[in-house]
Amino acid sequence: MSLSQKSTDLKRRMREALRGGGEKAIEKQKATGKLTARERIIALLDPKSFHEYDLFVEHAGRDFDMSEKYLPGDGVVTGTGTINGYAICVFAQDFTVAGGSLGYMHAKKITKIMDHAMKLKVPLIGINDSGGARIQEGVNSLAGYGEIFYRNTQSSGVIPQISVILGPCAGGAVYSPALTDFVFVVDKISKMFITGPEVIKTVLGEEISMEELGGARVQAEITGNAHFYAENEIECFEQIKQLCSYIPWNNTKKADSFPKKPPRTRQFNIDKLFPTNSRQPYDVKDIIRSISDDSDFFEVHERWAENIVVGFARMSGNTVGFVANQPLVLAGVLDVDSSDKAARFIRYCDAFNIPLVTLVDLPGYLPGVDQEHAGVIRHGAKVLYAYSEATVPKITVITRKAYGGGYIAMCSSHLRADFVFAWPTAEIAVMGPEGAANIIFRNEIKDAENPEEMRKMKVKEYKDKFANPYVAAAYGYIDAVIEPQETRDMVIHALHISADKIVTTPTKKHGIPPF
């Protein structure tokens, strides 16, 4: 066969493999509002940057007539490309080929590209759209998942791992996204659950739809399994590109710097945004935008545990991770979910050299039987652990309330914040003035002619004496009391001089976080 004939043969083979599951299967995929695997990769990456590998891999099934079936690429597309000019590794399960089911060679293709990502020290993006394990291949399918989970764990904290759920992701398959750093979902397309509606109906007699059980909104708003929610696939890919602009490519690097931009203070004027009434709530996202470059803030976990806000922004051109209590929701208290949310984000930033800026305004941990029985002690401890463990620059600004355990947990100087600033409106105390006065002056209030007047007087007395930043400043727990409009300059300076700090930690294999 001549070279020309061999080229023709190669092109024929490629055309056949690139057809995926065929026209009918592709039409069915598109009818549900979904792109094909290769269309998704091309939409995500820089134009003409995708290079596909292992196109001619064939499945390893031999039982149940599998040896007679041809599954192009064994139902998964793998390769490398670039986002914003930087290399990434990517795989996308092809639902048009045997429902994207995972068999032995399907898993081998995924683990091979995962190994490349680790060798090259570049992010791995996995697009999940699969019916689950290929039953015909038995334990080899399970072995494939195990190999993926192991690599997810080994890669954790070394390279960014991003999971995109664009179809079903059920059974054991859900644990790979759960082991990765960020999970993206799309409305009406993403489905995640351990056991599906049929199993639940059989075992428990409960009826529920796939959407209600594990749809995108459920994962983004109730379970917290998803970090980002989009209305359609294109919006989802734009979110991923935006995320990639904020994070470094591996744990030995820092995120790229961008030109410094001032905040848009006409819209986000800190003096106008912050209320003078200490009981009036405000949106802490506006405060973040009032001090960040160009007032941009890329929020993570926007729809879940909204009483705490986490996300990325830039200050003086450099990426920072913001953690902030949200007074608009539950007065910004820490509870089970918000503690998990904050702790995970803090650990991500620390693993990837992203400095932390914490804005504090909370009355403490959420009281209640439900919270106690849900394990708020253990979950709340995660925040303490994450901040204490973090060695990146840590800057804290106390804007208003910082009571009790909440004061300690939100990156206080006792957990080794590098700099702690407080606004004149800060109230740092063991508990709120009302509660403290009721305990300290219980007898005086009870014995007074007018107990309510006496209570008000004692609340004011306590507030004047303790509910301010100056007692903590007198002990050196606060480095400076600053005007709100000074915040951006003070934080940028603190980040700058903390950038190359050296932290010595005890020698150990690893700590034991309160999982």
Q: Which of 38, 59, 61, 62 is nearest to 50 (CA)?
A: 38
Pairing assessment for the beta strands 182-186 and 161-165 based on DSSP bridges? parallel
Which SS3 state, helix, strand or coil, does residue 481 take?
strand
Element (H, E) at 287: helix 284-291
Question: Residue 110: how many CB atoms within 10 A of its CB?
Answer: 24
pLDDT per residue, tens digit, the chain (515 aa), is 889 999 999 999 999 999 999 999 999 999 999 999 999 999 999 999 999 999 999 988 888 888 888 889 999 999 999 999 999 999 999 999 999 999 999 999 999 999 999 999 999 999 999 998 898 888 999 999 999 999 999 999 999 999 999 999 998 899 999 999 999 999 999 999 999 999 999 999 999 999 999 999 999 999 999 999 999 999 999 999 999 999 999 999 999 999 999 999 999 999 999 998 888 999 999 999 999 999 999 999 999 999 999 999 999 999 999 999 999 999 999 999 999 999 999 999 999 999 999 999 999 999 999 999 999 999 999 999 999 999 999 999 999 999 999 999 999 999 999 999 999 999 999 888 888 888 888 888 888 889 889 888 888 888 888 889 999 999 999 999 999 999 999 999 999 999 999 999 999 999 999 98
Q: How much is the pTM?
A: 0.94
Q: Which of 401, 403, 352, 408 is nearest to 385 (CA)?
A: 408
Cα–Cα distance measured from residue 34 to residue 216, given in angstroms and rounded to the nearest whole number: 14
Which SS3 state, helix, strand or coil, does residue 97 take?
coil
Pairing assessment for the beta strands 308-315 and 298-300 based on DSSP bridges? antiparallel
Distance between first and last Cα of the chain: 62
- Most distant CA pair in the chain, distance: 109
Cα radius of gyration rounded to whole Å, the chain = 27
